[in-house]
Amino acid sequence: MSRPAARPGTAPQPAPRPGPRARPAGPDLGPVDTATVRSAVRLLREPFWARVTLVVVLLSVAFFFLGRWQLGRHEGKVARNRLVEANYNAAPVPLDAVLPAPGAALAAGREWTRVQVAGTYDPARQLLIRNRPLDGNYGFEVIVPLRLTSGATLLVDRGWVPAGERFITPDAVPVPPNGEVTVVARVRPGEPPLDRTPPPGQELRIDLGRLAAAAGGTVYRGAYAVLATETPAPATAPTPLPEPDEDLGPHLAYAVQWWIGDVAAPVLLGWYALAEARLRRAGIVRGLGPGAARGLGPDAAGGTPPGASPDTPPDTPPGAPPEGDAAEGATAARGEGALPAPAPAGRTGRLRARRRPHGPTDEEWEDALTDHLAD
């Protein structure tokens, strides 16, 4: 059918742009049946897939133990919080109820228990514990021996003081009350030692063995006491240490994430193995790994090559003009007065096709209009 003539003096309208080309349908891979599953299992015996399987197994084992580690950290914080809630604000008890003798160890369930003792501070044997943070600032904790009326000595952590200008020593340390005082404090076990030499008058850890040797006399070595109150109260005192943080942290969420990865790794391996087995079964893939030949696409499954007509012989290059019956059909489809056929698809043809994406040029419209009027 010929294109209708344009009115005289009216410029021809450009042809509408063609819509998007439909993508060719992919090959039929068939259902996942028992034979496909068996093929996927046999696939794992190949060298490449065997290495992948080994890596997946190692990752799964690692993910499992990482999840157990995070769960253990979560459970430890839960147990610590329960201990704090039970003992931190309980009524004070005599020191003998928690530590029967200076050499006795502190029971795990008695940490943070409040005790009440009476005695006299010995500021001459005072020690500073270095590198102690509080609210984002570094300073020192002040440990002072308390000489009890029983003759033994209890190490008391009176609180925190900020570091000085040079961060080596504090600018000032409040002195403890003179004479006999009544102290309410919470008992805690000591800290593991650190094999380094601190400056004189300071320590790196609350190592009860080193602190007891520096204090002299009979010292309770199973625990030290974190000051809560002292009577009479001094005019100035170190900053009291805050209540323990009861935040559980993200450890439980981390454990769940590790275990999800523990399950997902073998599942993904099985999914990819099944996909590979189906592709091989359809003849699209001959193997996976270095040097494997792949033919993804409809042409690999025996379909029509891109750019070719279904009537075009198989050996015809893509974009070449049709021959024989296909050429006659194309001429009849264009009709009388139709636009010229597109140029053969070579390098020049592809360049011209890129330069005119909106249809025929003005010169071609004029030629077609002249031929139509002449008829």
Across 175-198, b (16+ Cβ under 10 Å) vs e yields ebbeeebebebbbbebeeeeeeeb
- Residues 175 and 172: their CA atoms lie apart, in Å, by 9
Reduced to 3 states (helix: H, G, I; strand: E, B; else coil), residue 90 is coil
Q: Do residues 157 and 217 make contact, with C-beta atoms less than 8 angstroms apart?
A: no
Opening angle at CA 213, ends 209 and 218, nearest 5: 95
Q: Hey, which bits of the chain come out as E strands?
A: 93-94, 114-121, 127-134, 137-148, 153-162, 180-188, 202-203, 224-231
Per-residue confidence (pLDDT) for residue 245, from 0 to 100: 84
User: Among 157, 159, 147, which Cα is nearest to 219's?
Assistant: 147
Instruction: Report d(CA 217, CA 232) in Å as an integer.
Output: 25
DSSP state letter for 52: H
The whole-angstrom separation of Cα 181 and Cα 332 is 116
pLDDT value at residue 356: 47
Q: Give CA–CA dist 247/195, Å, rounded.
A: 31
pLDDT for residue 164: 86
**Gap between the Cα atoms of 144 and 122, Å rounded:** 7
CA 297 to chain centre: 36
Mean pLDDT by 10 residues, the chain (375 residues): 54 64 63 86 92 96 96 93 91 94 92 95 94 92 95 96 88 92 95 89 93 93 95 93 89 96 94 90 63 42 44 49 48 45 47 48 62 55
CA neighbor of 119 nearest in space, from 239, 230, 235: 230
Confidence at residue 35, expressed as pLDDT on a 0 to 100 scale: 87
CA distances from 182 to 105, 126, 285, 361 (A): 23, 18, 85, 104
Q: Where are the domains of the chain?
A: 32-88+246-303, 93-231
d(CA 170, CA 164): 4
Q: Measuring CA to CA, which residue among 174, 126, 173 is closest to residue 146?
A: 126
Residue 321 has which token pair?
A: 């003009």
Q: Give the whole-angstrom CA distance, residue 145 versus residue 121.
A: 6
Short-list 303, 272, 274, CA closest to 29: 274
Provide the whole-model pTM. Answer: 0.60
